[in-house]
Amino acid sequence: MSESQDRHVCPECGTLMEAGETVASCGHLSRWWKCPNASCGTSWLVPIPAVEVEAVLTQITQSSLDGWLNNRAVGQLNHHVSMTRG
């Protein structure tokens, strides 16, 4: 996420808002932004651009694939070791 999209200023009091929960909304992902100012309490839901969602999904997919390949390689190595010992 770029810095400009990662920071939001409260429209009511001007305080830098804090990122909250990411939710599925209207067929896409959005993130709640909340004002930490106790006397304000403004919150709003901001859509996450599809390009950012795609980048995160690509990272998750690559990480999962790397883990699967690593587990498979370890399993094959363990199988090879057990076959050579037996």
Q: Is the pLDDT higher at 33 or at 53?
A: 33
**CB of 32 closer than 8 Å to CB of 18:** no
Predicted local confidence at residue 14, as pLDDT: 94
In DSSP terms, 19 is beta-bridged to: 33
**CB of 54 closer than 8 Å to CB of 29:** no
Taking only the tens place, the pLDDT of each residue in 15-46 is 999 999 888 867 788 889 999 999 998 999 98
Q: Hey, what are 42's tokens?
A: 């403004």
